[in-house]
A and B are shown apart, each in its own frame.
Chain A
Amino acid sequence: MAARVRAKIPESVTVGEVFTIRTLVSHRMESGLREHADGRLVPRDIINRFEATFEGERVFAVDIEPGIAANPFLEFTARIEKAGTLVLSWTDDAGEVTTYTQGIALA
Chain B
Amino acid sequence: MSAITRRRFGALIGLGAATALPPLVSSGRARPRVVVVGGGAGGATVARYLVRDSSGALDVTLVERSKRYTSCFFSNLYLGDRRDLGSITHRYDTLAAMEGLSVVHDRAVGVERERKVVTLAGGDELPYDRLVLSPGIELVHDSVPGYSEAAAGIAPHAWRGGAQTALLKAKLDALENGQNIVMVVPPNPYRCPPGPYERVSMMAHVLKMKGFEASTITIIDAKSTFSKQALFAEGWERYYGGMIEWLPPEIHGGVTAVDARAGTVETDFDTFEGALLNIIPAQRAGAIASDAGLADDSGFCPIEAGSMRSRIDPNVFVVGDASVAGAMPKSAFSANSQARVAALVIRGELLGTAVPRADYANTCWSLIAPEDAVKIGARYEAGEDGTIVGTSSFVSDTGEEAELREATYRESLDWYDAIIADMFG
- Which A residues lie at the B interface, using CB under 8 A? 1, 6-8, 22, 24, 26, 28, 30, 34, 69-71, 73
- Which residues on the B side are within 8 Å of A70 (C-beta)? 237, 242, 245
Q: Is B109 an interface residue (CB 8 A)?
A: no
- Which residues on the B side are within 8 Å of A69 (C-beta)? 233
Q: Is B251 an interface residue (CB 8 A)?
A: yes
Given contacts A28-B237, A70-B237, 8 further A-B contacts (CB under 8 A): A8-B269, A24-B247, A24-B270, A28-B242, A30-B241, A34-B237, A34-B238, A69-B233
Is the pair B269, A24 in contact by a Cβ cutoff of 8 Å? yes
Is the pair B247, A28 in contact by a Cβ cutoff of 8 Å? no
Interface string of B248-287 (1 = CB under 8 A from A): 0011000000000000000011100000000000000000
Q: Which 6 A-B pairs have the closest CB atoms?
A: A6-B270, A28-B242, A73-B251, A8-B269, A28-B241, A71-B245
Is the pair B242, A22 in contact by a Cβ cutoff of 8 Å? no
Q: Chain B nearest CB: distance from A65 CB in Å?
A: 17
- Which B residues lie at the A interface, using CB under 8 A? 216, 233, 237-238, 241-242, 245, 247, 250-251, 268-270
Is the pair A6, B241 in contact by a Cβ cutoff of 8 Å? no
User: Please, could you name 10 A-B residue pairs with CB atoms under 8 Å apart, sorted by A?
Assistant: A6-B269, A7-B270, A8-B269, A8-B270, A22-B251, A24-B251, A26-B242, A70-B237, A71-B245, A73-B251
- Which residues on the A side are within 8 Å of B237 (C-beta)? 28, 34, 70
- Which residues on the B side are within 8 Å of A73 (C-beta)? 250-251
When C-beta atoms are compared, the residue in chain A nearest to B233 turns out to be A69
When C-beta atoms are compared, the residue in chain B nearest to A27 turns out to be B242
Is the pair B241, A22 in contact by a Cβ cutoff of 8 Å? no
State the CA gap A71–B242 with chains docked (Å): 9
State the CA gap A38–B242 with chains docked (Å): 21
When C-beta atoms are compared, the residue in chain A nearest to B402 turns out to be A37
- Which residues on the A side are within 8 Å of B247 (C-beta)? 24
Q: Chain A nearest CB: distance from B267 CB in Å?
A: 9
State the CA gap A7–B271 with chains docked (Å): 10
- Which residues on the B side are within 8 Å of A1 (C-beta)? 242
- Which residues on the B side are within 8 Å of A34 (C-beta)? 237-238
Q: Chain A nearest CB: distance from B422 CB in Å?
A: 38
State the CA gap A1–B247 with chains docked (Å): 21
- Which residues on the B side are within 8 Å of A6 (C-beta)? 269-270
Q: Chain A nearest CB: distance from B60 CB in Å?
A: 52
- Which residues on the B side are within 8 Å of A7 (C-beta)? 270
Q: Which of B233, B247, B251 has the most CB of A within 10 A?
A: B251
Q: Chain A nearest CB: distance from B182 CB in Å?
A: 13
The contact of A22 among B233, B238, B269, by CB within 8 Å, is B269
Q: Chain B nearest CB: distance from A69 CB in Å?
A: 8
Q: Which of A7, A26, A69, A71 has the most CB of B within 10 A?
A: A71
Q: Chain B nearest CB: distance from A19 CB in Å?
A: 15
- Which residues on the A side are within 8 Å of B251 (C-beta)? 22, 24, 73
When C-beta atoms are compared, the residue in chain A nearest to B248 turns out to be A73
Q: Chain A nearest CB: distance from B2 CB in Å?
A: 61
- Which residues on the B side are within 8 Å of A8 (C-beta)? 268-270
State the CA gap A7–B216 with chains docked (Å): 18
Q: Chain B nearest CB: distance from A73 CB in Å?
A: 5
State the CA gap A8–B242 with chains docked (Å): 22
State the CA gap A7–B269 with chains docked (Å): 7
- Which residues on the A side are within 8 Å of B269 (C-beta)? 6, 8, 22, 24
State the CA gap A71–B269 with chains docked (Å): 15
- Which residues on the A side are within 8 Å of B250 (C-beta)? 73
Is the pair A26, B241 in contact by a Cβ cutoff of 8 Å? no
Q: Chain B nearest CB: distance from A30 CB in Å?
A: 8
State the CA gap A24–B242 with chains docked (Å): 14
Q: Chain B nearest CB: distance from A68 CB in Å?
A: 13
State the CA gap A107–B251 with chains docked (Å): 26
State the CA gap A45–B233 with chains docked (Å): 17
Q: Chain B nearest CB: distance from A107 CB in Å?
A: 20
When C-beta atoms are compared, the residue in chain B nearest to A8 turns out to be B269
- Which residues on the A side are within 8 Å of B245 (C-beta)? 26, 70-71
State the CA gap A22–B269 with chains docked (Å): 8
- Which residues on the B side are within 8 Å of A24 (C-beta)? 247, 251, 269-270
- Which residues on the A side are within 8 Å of B233 (C-beta)? 69
State the CA gap A53–B237 with chains docked (Å): 32
